[in-house]
Chain A
């Protein structure tokens, strides 16, 4: 810094300070709000890694008594970043997982995230004896998604064993964890079995702000974060039992306006396919053969009142030459599908 420049600067500096003063007054409120928002945001982020050493030193430039420029440094102050212990668990299944009764090896998927700022070991536990449901799933394993693909791979993913393979996660690192349960027999459609997964920081948990001196990374203190360093997420298994019933009725209409099964009488068959309960039925196909001594009435096939052509084409039905077929594909309960066709008595 040139001495001549500095002489001008000093005068200028006074002006500058006055301006700054005004400026600050105008902004005080906005700044206060900004700071609060920033803090709220920081509570969820991992923040500066635990154990980081923040060094700072000041420098002074001056003109000494002999009119020589001089630069001096201060000492270095050091702040160590403490470790925040925190964890988050979210369920990955958007709805209850549908199961049958009995059923086996049914998965619930969760994602565990280290929301602290240091590497941390987490202790996992599951609870399948929760209230507010109709049955208790039978826990088989807690499984760690070891290969990190988010999908349960029986051959690769590791069964969790508390105290032996507790997962260690870096700040912001996530791990998918599966609960695998069996479902008891004898349950009813719609029954619910809840299950939860809990993860707790191994270093410690409890009220936010609880301090574990020296237990953090690099000799820092470990401090429980806003989420108590423990987290639980819950989901459940819902019984989805589909029942189907097919009924057949007939109406005879003879040429004399009566209902007698005489030659020339037309029989209208009605096939009613009812799907009840919860869930889907797939590949449903209704077929019926034309009775002996009768002939199919061409063009008489209908599905839910809509005529179907006899040829095999884009519509759902056809006449095979010996009977009728109507392909219903995937049906979601509850639904009722009605197929009708006519035959004439020879």
Chain B
């Protein structure tokens, strides 16, 4: 387990010193993957849509970020809040099929504050304050309602479009 944690940290290019220490056994493992939908033509000529890892995309493409958390420790993780910035080249897409469990809170101010989009305001390019739109979203936050038990795994996700 220790080695696995190490491998993940190194892959991420992040050196999380404390993850190697006493807290390691208590931590969540967090992985971030990005997918795009492609159309695959089957032998019978039927076109099916399929999600595949998005390594290369063209502007205008919708991608799906999937963040998987897993409690790899032996104690529950409580008050779990996962945040993810929306990369500046992407525009957040409000998820039409909302899953109550995983609906994110939204931030339009770089993650300083979060709330419902309809209540958020931004300063437009004309200097006037206006209602925020999906394209103004800078960060997403998912607060899990219950503790993540040892061995428990879950995902949160969001769609965004490449500008």
Contact = CB atoms under 8 A, between A and B. Distances in A.
Label chain B's interface by main secondary structure: mixed
Given A47-B163, A79-B55, A70 B27 contact: yes
Interface of B: 8, 11-14, 16, 18-19, 23, 26-28, 30-34, 54-60, 63, 65, 67, 69, 73-85, 87, 89-91, 93-96, 98, 100-101, 103, 105, 116-118, 134, 143, 145, 148, 161-163
A21 B131 CA distance: 19
A82 B58 CA distance: 5
- Most chain A CB atoms below 10 A, which of B80, B81, B83: B81
B100 A48 contact: no
Label chain A's interface by main secondary structure: mixed
B83 A77 contact: no
A42 to B, nearest CB: 4
- Contact-size category for A: 35 or more
- Most chain A CB atoms below 10 A, which of B12, B26, B59, B77: B59
Nearest to B159: A35
A3 to B, nearest CB: 7
A220 B162 CA distance: 15
B17 to A, nearest CB: 12
A76 B12 contact: yes
Nearest to A80: B56
Given A21-B103, A31-B94, A58-B67, A117 B116 contact: no
B161 A73 contact: no
Nearest to A16: B105
A223 B58 contact: yes
A75 B14 CA distance: 8
A61 B84 CA distance: 11
Given A10-B79, A70-B23, A79-B54, A35 B100 contact: no
A9 interface: yes
A59 B74 contact: no
A5 to B, nearest CB: 9
B32 A74 contact: yes
Given A59-B82, A65-B73, A39 B116 contact: no
B69 A60 contact: yes
Contact of A81 (B27, B32, B58): B58
B71 to A, nearest CB: 9
A79 B57 contact: yes
A72 to B, nearest CB: 6
Contacts of A16: 105, 116
B59 to A, nearest CB: 3
A27 interface: yes
A127 B33 CA distance: 50
A35 B11 CA distance: 35
B87 A61 contact: no
A20 interface: yes
A55 to B, nearest CB: 7
A9 B101 CA distance: 15
